[in-house]
Structure 1
Amino acid sequence: MSRTQRNAGIAAFFLEHVAEVIDMIDLVHGGARTVQNIRAQLLGLRSESAVDRELPEGLGVRADTAERLIRDDFSVFHSNCILGAWGALEATVDDFCVSQLKDSAVRDQLPALQALKVPLGEFLGRSEEERWDWVLEHLKVSRSSVLKPGVGQFESILGDVNLGGKVDDDLRKLLFEVKALRNAIAHRGGKVDQRLIDALPGWGMAIGDRIHVGYEQVVAALLGMSVYVDLVVHRSRGTEWQPGGSSAPSPQRLLSTFERPEAISQPRP
């Protein structure tokens, strides 16, 4: 399999994953509302205690859970979807990089790789499959890539493996904001902190606010990640990428959806 084919397969896997996550979000929304409607219809015919007794085993608990999810606008669920998808994006970019490193024609022309200093014994002691993952980790450490904001985390290392290039301004801004939100969810328990306020000063948040991620917002974040992967695979093919050129909405539209302040946070209870 050629490098271009490998990279296309890597992209296809991620895009399919995102599509499945969006389908799962729709399923959870629909399922919760169905359970809520069943309970509401039964309550119209019987007392609440009778309904709770007559609901199939476990459905009463699920009905309570459905009510909580709906009241919360599924925010915790959406937040976890963003966490998982960003992790999948990180793994996808790693796979692109390893695919490049496995190609000797690319590898022999990478200044960053030639300048990288690693213990030769450790390199040779690893299997062929493990070597390039190991080299990539050393490249990432040398670039402090994980500490960079937004797509800077990825561009700093993609450039080292001949997959760097221009990023649409709206897409760059969107993924900067998505990563900032992801970090607050992951490291601050889903509450707004000063770092998030500094990263997103126009959102009108206060320290301690509970981060709220709505449906349109999580979908915009997921599609933004997909658009970025599509951009990288275009670089791999050597073909021109145009904003909004695929079936996904344009980065500008995704950014405007993601940035609506009313969808971002709720005051701390």
Structure 2
Amino acid sequence: MEESEFALSAGGEAWNSFDHYIQRVLILLFTFKANTDAVQGLRALAPQDVSDHSENAESLKGPDEALQYSMCIVAAWGAFEAYVEDVCKGAMALDPSILDNKQIKNLSIKVSDFFASASVKLDIVFRAIKASIDTRDISERYRRILTYVDLDVELSDPYDQRFIDSYKVRNVWAHSAGRADAKFVKEAASLGFEIGDEVQLTAEGTVDYIASLYVYAALTYNRLRTKVGLPGIRMESDEFIERLKPKTVSTVVEVMNLIRSFGKDSTINDEGSEPDTSLTASDDLPESQAPLSEEAPPVQTTSPDSAAAPEL
């Protein structure tokens, strides 16, 4: 299958939509971070008598960081769930023989449903797949769903644990307004919250959570590309995470630098070799990306070892 043809397939469109949406979520996250840094800077510069005045103090209070970052996690999870559904349907559309799989034949699907239109049939089959999964383990749940369409992959640490934690954080914010309840404290004990605590989030931690979803999706996408004879997208984990970290983001220009740098990591491997769908944090880093232009200084990072973002 040609690249252009695959891009227009349901599987290709599933990835393109997910990739684009996650980049927009990250723009929003970095904007939140920039606003927070700006307010903290104003607070530090304000004279003591001004910053202590009730009205001025309220104006310098700053945004609700935890709420803002939780919105990004909730949005990213919604996109991931939609991606999994769409890529599974895409896999079945590209390889109809999947529908003859014994596992799928054993699902609770009416025989007449297999004679429905293609889109309706795939929707029915996917809903039956989801209904057949009875585990509460989120990692195992998605592994089983993807196994039905031969897109199951191994998500290694630290991504696997961050994937699990991000789901718990998403739920506590979506269902309990961010307040840790007994269930959350028990199931997410490693996060260190007590009952009644507001589950605090940082920009860096939120990026880690979103990155785990992105990496999981990228691995399944690579698996699908391999099945149709195409090379996979190149994902080097250390640089991927480092480039997403909001370091000293303080302007929209710097936000866009980071996002464009992030997009560069999702380039197609032009070497023609079969992609390795495993991903570990010890992968070699690629050479620095070429700058986008020479008109603005590059984003400054707090560590000399961090991957430099391209210039805007």
Q: TM-score, normalising length from structure 1?
A: 0.72
Instruction: Specify every segment of 5 or more residues in structure 2 that has no aligned partner in the other structure, as ranges.
Output: 242-278, 283-312
Instruction: Specify every segment of 5 or more residues in structure 1 that has no aligned partner in the other structure, as ranges.
Output: 53-59, 254-269
Q: For the Cα contact (< 8 Å) 1:98–1:136, is it kept in 2? A: yes
Once the two structures are TM-superposed, the CA of residue 13 in structure 1 deviates from its matched residue by: 2.3
Distance 1:35 1:131 in 2: 52
Give the number of the structure whose residues are more often helix, by fraction: 1
Q: For the Cα contact (< 8 Å) 1:175–1:224, is it kept in 2? A: yes
Residue matched to 1:203: 191
Classify 1:244/1:193 alpha carbon distance in 2 versus 1 (closer, same or farther; 3 Å): farther
Deviating more after overlay: 240-249 vs 114-123: 240-249
- Deviation per CA, 1:214-239, whole angstroms, max 9, x where unpaired? 11111111111111111111211236
C-alpha RMSD of matched pairs (Å):
3.4
Q: For the Cα contact (< 8 Å) 1:106–1:161, is it kept in 2? A: no
Classify 1:38/1:198 alpha carbon distance in 2 versus 1 (closer, same or farther; 3 Å): closer
Once the two structures are TM-superposed, the CA of residue 66 in structure 1 deviates from its matched residue by: 6.8
Q: TM-score, normalising length from structure 2?
A: 0.63
Residue matched to 1:225: 213
* 2:240 corresponds to which of 248, 251, 266: 248
* 1:19 lines up with 2:9 in the alignment: no
SS where residue 159 of structure 2 aligns?
helix
Once the two structures are TM-superposed, the CA of residue 251 in structure 1 deviates from its matched residue by: 6.2
Residue matched to 1:84: 75
Equivalent residue runs for 1:160-179 within 5 Å = 160-179=148-167
* 1:237 lines up with 2:209 in the alignment: no
What is the percentage of aligned positions where both structures have the same residue?
21
Q: Which consecutive segments of 4 or more residues in structure 1 shift more than 6 A? A: 35-41, 239-243
- Deviation per CA, 1:179-204, whole angstroms, max 9, x where unpaired? 11112112222111222222232333
In the alignment of these two chains, the number of paired residues is 233
Once the two structures are TM-superposed, the CA of residue 205 in structure 1 deviates from its matched residue by: 1.7
Distance 1:167 1:40 in 2: 43
Equivalent residue runs for 1:184-195 within 5 Å = 184-195=172-183
Distance 2:205 2:164 in 1: 14
Distance 2:189 2:82 in 1: 30
Larger relative contact order (CA 8 Å, sep ≥ 6):
1
Once the two structures are TM-superposed, the CA of residue 39 in structure 1 deviates from its matched residue by: 9.3
Aligned AA for 1:234?
Answer: N
Aligned AA for 2:179?
Answer: K
Distance 1:224 1:243 in 2: 12
* 2:128 corresponds to which of 124, 133, 138: 138
Distance 2:219 2:101 in 1: 21
Classify 1:33/1:180 alpha carbon distance in 2 versus 1 (closer, same or farther; 3 Å): closer
Once the two structures are TM-superposed, the CA of residue 77 in structure 1 deviates from its matched residue by: 0.8
Residue matched to 1:102: 93
Deviating more after overlay: 109-118 vs 208-217: 109-118
Q: For the Cα contact (< 8 Å) 2:193–2:199, is it kept in 1? A: no
Residue matched to 2:141: 153
Classify 1:20/1:131 alpha carbon distance in 2 versus 1 (closer, same or farther; 3 Å): same
Once the two structures are TM-superposed, the CA of residue 4 in structure 1 deviates from its matched residue by: 9.6
Q: For the Cα contact (< 8 Å) 2:9–2:90, is it kept in 1? A: no
